[in-house]
Every structure is written in C-alpha cells, then in structure tokens.
Amino acid sequence: MRAFLGTPHHHHYSGQDLAVGIASGLVPCPLTLFVMTFSMSKGVPVAGVLFEMVMMIGVAATLSTEAAVRILFRKQIVRLFETKSGMLTTVARGLQALSGAIVVALAVHQVGSSI
C-alpha cells in the first residue's frame, strides 16, 4: 500500500535497535527449523546441518558485500540520492507495487489450482 500512497519510510537507529537486531539474529528462521526437523525425520541430520551452514555462509556473504559496497561507494551513493531522488522514489514505488502484485498473483494461482 505504501507504493501507492507514497508514505515516507525513515530509519532512526539507536542502541535498542542494535540490541533487537542482535537478539532477532539469534532466533532461528522457520526455514531452518523446518529443514532440521525434516532432515532429522528422514534420518539424515548431516544434510540439514550442511544446508544450514551453506545458508549461513550465503547470508554472511550477502550482508558483508552490502556493507562493503556502502563503505566503498558511500560518496557516489549519497550523490545519487541527492541528484536522482525523484527517480529513485518512483523506481522504489514501482518495485513495491510489482512485488505486491506478484505475491497476490501467486496467491490467486495457488488458491485457484487447489479448488
């Protein structure tokens, strides 16, 4: 809905936000719990552990790359936001609307195919 209304989204970080981020990182995601339970039920716990290790490496690589890009290109990123903010806002709203439409279309397709 924010894609159509244009409601601004601002971030204000504090020590409490950091604590929440760290605490939520300690909670396993539902996919992790499902894979571990499934692999245990099938008698192959090693497969579940390997999956989780690969997933953890992927998350670490993604977050590290994103942080490195922000650090290395911070001046260019700031300049881009200062000079092209209108275009970036339009693109962001378009992507939000598109992703929402895709989720709705998938849900309609799933419901329609199960009837």
User: Contact, 109 vs 15, CB < 8 A?
Assistant: no
Tell me which of 3-7, 20-24, 107-111 is least confident.
Answer: 3-7
> Is this model's pTM higher than 0.85 or not?
no
19-58: pLDDT as tens digits: 776 776 677 778 888 888 999 999 999 999 999 889 888 8
| Residue-by-residue DSSP string for 12-47 | ---HHHHHHHHHHHHSPPHHHHHHHHHHHHTT-HHH
